Amino acid sequence: MDCEKVDAQKLWGRVSAFASSPSSGRVPYKFVVLDSADYITPTSQQLFKKVYAETEKKTKYIFICRSLSKLTGHVLAKGPHFTAHLAVEREALGE
């Protein structure tokens, strides 16, 4: 088994364990935020499909990325897409 697949299984195993555990408080579901999702390999995105199927009723996933073209259909089909444009530092400071 290659290193990439082992790491992907470990990542999604941890996500699955968190998503499957009981939620605390009054919120009936959990949020999982994956930053730089466009760096998740296609193999790992395929493994996400199984994790999502097991946890979709209790967990909401948020993928943050710069390029939607690097995400596979398994990820893209799971919800709406929002586009945010990066602000130049000067614009953000009002200069």
What are the start-end ranges of the E strands in 1-95?
A: 30-34, 59-63
Give the position of tokens 């996500």: 15
63 DSSP β-pair partners? 34
pLDDT of residue 2: 47
pLDDT digits (tens, 9 = 90+) for 35-81: 888 888 888 888 888 888 888 888 888 888 888 888 888 778 877 77
Short-list 10, 28, 29, 7, CA closest to 19: 29
Q: For 23-34, write each residue's pLDDT tens digit.
A: 877 888 888 888
Q: Are 5 and 43 in contact (CB under 8 A)?
A: yes
